[in-house]
Amino acid sequence: MPLSDTVDDWSDEAFFAELKRRLPDDVAAAMITGPSIERASRRCARFVCEPMRYGNLFLAGDAAHIVPPTGARGLNSAASDIYYLYHALVDHYHSGDDRGLDAYSQKALARCGRASDSRGG
């Protein structure tokens, strides 16, 4: 599969055949396929959702920010989000202290910005 391939170079059948080749046999055999409804290719770009909190919904990891895999920082950023959110939730439920929840988005975004703006590996 050369890097020069485009989505137009791949039929639905060819795509699913390649996908099944990469999956365990039992999973591939159970897969039900059909015609694709979307055929697009996107460059992997940086995406950050601000704020990372909407009422009682807290976003973390790829739900909140996507960084190109070439930087190898996605998992570290997600783990950092969970670290901040975990401690904020413990404080909320153990002592009714909402300061960590209120600061979660700003704190996580500050680190996320540093991670996703970094260059190189």
In degrees and rounded to multiples of 5, residue 52 shows phi and psi of -95, 15
pLDDT single digits (tens) 79-101: 999 999 999 999 999 999 999 99
The confidence score (pLDDT) of residue 118 equals 39
The confidence score (pLDDT) of residue 113 equals 61
Indicate whether 58 pLDDT > 90. Answer: yes
d(CA 10, CA 1): 10
Q: Which pLDDT band, with edges at 50, 70 and 90, does 1 fall under?
A: low
The confidence score (pLDDT) of residue 69 equals 66
Centroid of chain to Cα 97: 29
pLDDT single digits (tens) 104-115: 999 988 876 654
CA dihedral 98→103→104→107, nearest 10 degrees, is -150
pLDDT single digits (tens) 33-55: 988 887 765 555 677 888 899 89
Q: Are 9 and 43 in contact (CB under 8 A)?
A: no
pTM to 2 decimal places:
0.56
